[in-house]
Copies of this chain bind each other. A is one copy, B any other.
Amino acid sequence: MTFPVVGMVGGGQLARMTHEAGIPLGIRFKLLSDTPQDSAALVAGDVVIGDYRDLDTLRDFARGCDVVTFDHEHVPTEHLRALEADGVPVRPGPDALVHAQDKGVMRARLDALGIPCPRHRIVADPADVVAFAAEGGGFPVVLKTVRGGYDGKGVWVVRNAEQAAEPFRAGVPVLAEEKVEFVRELAANVVRSPHGQAVAYPVVESIQVDGVCDTVIAPAPGLSDQSSAGAQELALRIAAELDVVGHLAVELFETRDGRTLVNELAMRPHNSGHWTMDGAVTSQFANHVRAVLDLPLGDPRPRAPWTVMCNVLGGDYPDMYSGYLHCMARDPQLKIHMYGKDVKPGRKVGHVNTYGADLADVRERARHAADYLRGTITQ
């Protein structure tokens, strides 16, 4: 046994932060990135530029890797099967990952496991959407393309047959779901290794704005021990049943009557786990690396009573660095994580973490820094 090569497909910020977490482990990190300007490609030493949709490119890349893992879920499932057939450990494997790639497959599997989900079914056309609405609580209905959506893309909330036409235009299968009247959104994040060890992070509250994650509070305020343990057990069960390897984020709706319904699954480090970089003994990125290498997992427990993450989105002015002076001077405990990405309005370009014993203070500090860096506030 010697220090292994972890190959990661995709050069986004999740790969960037995975590389950062892998450095202390002494492993070799190899990246397959679309361009040399991608977030992770800017900071990694061993970078292959290529298209993950091309099987030959993937095969060449995988040849030098002891294990291949992912920054995103977009690698075609059949390519993953081909890599596995070549003898490359692919983690998570295609049989697990397909549940994060295809929302139809995911819903069918969770149904079979008896795991509570929003009411849903695959719909054929706008008339079928009207029928779906009539079968349950009526409009509005949520429509999702089964593949390719993220951060609100590929998701529509429709109120009538006319609005329901748009999602079908791409010609891919469309999933209809009831629009859940949730109290809030939670995320239960777990990490699982090939031989079945698993750890569960504290359940967090995730606040979305315009379909994009804005704030994460760890642990979720006011969540009962019973609900928290229930959500952790649910996520651990999904990870085991689907044979997930690596980080699994289970996005949940908490309903008014205290139920939790599964919204989405992600099988990679996830925005709802960014708080762990400064708030947990072992970050989601470090544990993802350990899991894909089948190393014993690190302690997922929090290091502070409260940790808050706020995403930094691109605003109207491109110079985020100038905001460092004010933010760092105002809060010497602030943890900034920038991704090296060009600023475009609404694009996730970084996040900030704060922690401490007073939740109101911790939230205010994170909110202020994220707003100041974006340029929404000027003092």
Q: Using CB atoms and an 8 Å cutoff, list the residues of chain A in contact with chain B.
A: 1-4, 16-17, 19-20, 23-26, 28-29, 41-45, 47, 277, 281-282, 290, 295-299, 303, 319-322, 324-325, 328-329, 332-340, 350
Contacts and interface: CB of A to CB of B under 8 A. Distances in A.
A296 B328 contact: yes
A325 B295 contact: yes
Number of this chain's copies in the assembly equals 2
A42 B335 CA distance: 26
Given A2-B321, A43-B45, A295-B324, 13 more contacts: A1-B322, A4-B321, A17-B23, A19-B43, A20-B24, A24-B338, A25-B336, A26-B320, A26-B338, A29-B43, A282-B332, A296-B325, A296-B332
A325 B297 CA distance: 10
Contact of A303 (B303, B320, B321, B329): B303
A44 B42 contact: no
A17 to B, nearest CB: 8
A16 to B, nearest CB: 7
Interface core residue of A41, A42, A322 (most chain B CB under 10 Å): A42
A193 to B, nearest CB: 11
Contacts of A303: 303
Contacts of A43: 19, 23, 29, 44-45
